[in-house]
Amino acid sequence: MLISYGAVSGKIKAERTGEGIQMGMKEKMTNIPTATSADCTDCTESTEFTGSTESEKQSCCAEHEKHEKYSGYADPGKTGGSSSVNQKEWDRMLGGQLYMPLRVGGDSWGRVHSAQMKFNASEFWKDRSALDELRKCFRKAPDDLVLIPPVYFDHGNRISFGKHFFANTDLTILDENYVTFGDNVYIAPHVSIYTAGHPVDAAVRNTDLEYARPVTVGNDVWIGGNVVINPGVAIGNNVVIGSGSVVTQNIPDNVIAAGNPCRVIRAIDENDRQVWEAEYKEYLAYLQTEKEEHSDGS
């Protein structure tokens, strides 16, 4: 998450009051919702949103015994655990509209941070148990998922991995919106995928409002090291993204793309297939020779 996380405590903190968020903006943006008030649709009362940590229950009206959740909403993206989600804020977030991160609620941030901390400290090459626990935090994560720590995910429950997914060390995904991977995706070290963005206008940006747009990666994609993928990008099928690229626009199928900003360099064609099939056949021949040598006892 890009906003207001307490780095020392590891918990989200809401340190600004609604009045503070509005400061300097009253004339220009009188209709921006504050981060500290939430209206319950089941009663006419409105109470201060205290910015509770994700492990604490958040109520949407003073009579929290009657309204223990935001109007009874459940997190559509959560994967287990208990949660209290502001459905309207959630819908704005996934719809690409301005929203207040501190008002979304839910327990996904705390769950995935706990799980990834354990995974990052694990002997992953000997024991998959920490990875299996982390997999429970994702929207979709097949059994053959391979991640090399350290990894960082904001929520996890908005990420869908396809089959035969491999990510080398230091994968970072800020999944405020959905991030969807196809099958057979290879990711090199130090790749960052962002769905979160902030207003260009400084006055609006300083209110801590943000937006989030989904990222999609197709089937049979190889993403080189130190690539950054920005919010709203869709990468097609059978694509290679060159190292160090900053992907700001959609990339079509069957191409090699690279650069800052990333652009199509050339198509992947029949010549590529023939060249690499020849390399593959040579390797198979090498394995066969090795096998015959071992069978002869040499």
Write out the catalytic residue numbers: 198
Q: Which two tokens stand for residue 277?
A: 């099939």
Angle 183-186-188 from CA coordinates, rounded to 5°: 160
CA atoms of 252 and 274, how far apart (whole Å): 22
Closest by CA position to 215, among listed 228, 204, 231: 231
Q: What Å distances lie between residue 147 and 132, 246, 286, CA to CA? A: 11, 22, 30
Q: In which element (H, E) is residue 187 found? A: strand 185-187
52-77 in b/e form (b: 16+ CB < 10 A) is bbbeeebbbbeeeeebebbbebebeb
CA proximity to 56, closest of 2, 116, 106: 106
**Could you tell me the end-to-end alpha-carbon distance of the chain, in angstroms, rounded to an integer?**
58
Report the half-sphere exposure of 95 (CA within 13 A, side-chain side).
9
Instruction: Give the other-Cβ count within 10 Å of 288's Cβ.
Output: 10
